Amino acid sequence: MDLKYEKKDAIEFIKSKKDMDEYIERYIDFLNYAKTEYRAAKFAENMLKENGFVDINSKKKLKTGDKVYFVNNEKSIYAAIIGKDELKDGLNIVGAHIDSPRLDLKPMPLYEKHHAGLLKTQYYGGIKKYQWTTIPLAMYGVIYNEDGKKIEIEVGEGENDPCFTITDLLPHLAREQMKLGANEFIDPEKLVVLVGSLKSDDKETEKVKNSVKRNILKLLNKKYGIKEIDFARSEISLVPAFRARYVGFDYSLVGGYGQDDRSCAYASLEALCKQKGLNQKTAVIMLVDKEEIGSVGNTSMSSNIFDLFITKLIKLKGEEDTSILEVYYNSKMLSADVSTLVDPSYDEVSDIQNGNILGCGIALEKYTGSGGKYSASDANAKYVSEVMQIFEKNNIAFQLGTLGKIEKGGGGTIAYILAEKGVNVIDCGPGVLCMHSPFEITSSSDLYMTTKAYDAFLRA
């Protein structure tokens, strides 16, 4: 009898290589489309509709097998398949986030300096600022004009689109800059985006002074019908302008922006859409916004809008006597978020024995937090055991990593928010290398295991 635990190669758990390859193709398409939470929510809504889900607001009542979704302010979405059990017997929930670190435009972003047209940004989420300079950037978002009409912005990745970029000093003149620590040498106020260099050519009058800024405003007005003030009623983000793609001679890895946490978002979407037959428990997924800035705001996990969705389920199901707290108390959840992988070049920050290794399956993270488990969402042993049994029964490759060495840093997910509602929850997602960088790396076999794990959990 072999008593010791050893990590296993996730590839050994995969029955159909073809099925995995097709999944990765679909996942890469999703990453390339869903570069903002708006687009991820839109993609999810379309995919849910294609799979028979309907807007919960169009339902008069709900019965076993019904499939519904709820879109919250275009930026987060919840979906459910009603199971045979009553809601008060608990839900099986998989929750991921669809926002990723990026650069947002400031409310009044446009200016001109030394013949360059520039846009001021404020970074969103935890980034290493230097990674975002000197790369091609694309612009996505929404802007409202003075009549309140919504205009969608999408520039930087079409075949004939220009892209944008942020300048950085040449090494020849960077002697002083290079002495600074990595967190200081890019001043956040210098994360300005280069967007043009031609002056307008209006016939000059006393009122109109030709400038690069004016030319850009004219181009924007021509294309979108907007004025400078309209930037104040916009949400526009700069994201890497390159496509997700395979990495490695063996094509075994996926490189791309936003895999934290769209890898889990996509995995849970497919897992829910592919549920077959009638489940015992009501299966729920949620794709939420604002995780990267601390889960604050009405589209984040902290908002009560998820409660509103569950309240609607209770009411439409005709379980008026059920309290939402009872539903939560009996529910179980996977907080579907990525974990870190032991980086072969920086393994000194990891406790290898308790780290996640590339290609060894989905990471089950008992607790998050930092130092003395501060702010940790720490799953109880009974619940860890339940989840492990689900994975073992369903031939899911999983590993049991923590984020890194105890005082090297830390982090958290949406898990604690559901834990506070009384849900049993554990973090569970693929490991990522270069997390929060413009080009995050995952393993295809880990990604495939992730959707298989969520599928098994939702129907457990």
Smallest separation (angstroms) from Mn ion to the CB of 435: 6
Kindly write out the interface string for residues 112-141 of this chain, putting x where it contacts Mn ion by CB under 5 A and - elsewhere: ------------------------------
Q: Which residue has the tokens 């916004």?
A: 289
Nearest to Mn ion of 326, 365 (CB atom): 365
The DSSP line for 380-425 is: -HHHHHHHHHHHHHTT--EE---SSSTTS-EE--SHHHHHHHT-EE
For Mn ion, which is the closer residue by CB, 193 or 435? Answer: 435
Residue 275 half-sphere exposure toward CB, CA atoms < 13 A = 32
- State how far the Cα of 140 lies from the Cα of 35, in Å rounded to an integer: 8
H-type alpha helices, 317-400: 324-329, 381-393
Q: How far is the CB of 192 from Mn ion (least distance, A)?
A: 24
Q: Pick the closer one to Mn ion by CB: 56 or 364.
A: 364
- Count the site residues for Mn ion by CB under 5 A: 3
DSSP, res 15 = S
Whole-angstrom distance, CA of residue 303 vs CA of residue 291: 11
Q: Which two tokens stand for residue 130?
A: 């230097």
CB of 254 to Mn ion, least distance (A): 16
Q: Select the residue interacting with Mn ion from 337, 365, 427, 446 (CB under 5 A).
A: 337
**CB closer to Mn ion, 294 vs 318:** 294
Q: Which of 66, 289 has the CB closer to Mn ion?
A: 289
Q: Which two tokens mark 409? A: 């840093």
Q: Which of 129, 98, 448, 364 is nearest to 257 (CA)?
A: 98
Residue 434 CB, shortest distance to Mn ion, in Å, is 12
CB of 260: closest distance to Mn ion in angstroms? 4
Which residue stretch of 53-61, 196-204, 337-345, 369-377 sits at the interface with Mn ion (rule: CB under 5 A)? 337-345
Q: How far is CA 452 from the centre of its chain?
A: 19
On the CB side of 341, CA atoms within 13 Å amount to 24
Position with the least CB separation from Mn ion: 261
* Distance (Å) of CA 434 to CA 152, 163, 223, 254: 30, 23, 36, 12
Q: Which is nearer to Mn ion, 261 or 455 (CB)?
A: 261
Residue closer to Mn ion by CB (options 284, 287) is 287
Minimum CB distance to Mn ion, residue 191 (Å): 19
How near is the Cβ of 432 to Mn ion at its closest, in Å?
9
Residue 98 beta carbon to Mn ion: minimum distance, rounded to whole angstroms: 10
In this chain, which of 260, 270, 365, 427 binds Mn ion, going by CB under 5 A? Answer: 260
- CA-based radius of gyration for the chain: 24
The CA-based angle 224-227-230, given to 5 degrees, is 90
Q: Binding residue for Mn ion (CB under 5 A) from 45, 157, 261, 270? A: 261
Query: Contact between 455 and Mn ion (CB under 5 A)?
Result: no
Nearer to Mn ion, 212 or 238 (CB): 238
For Mn ion, the binding residues (CB under 5 A) are 260-261, 337
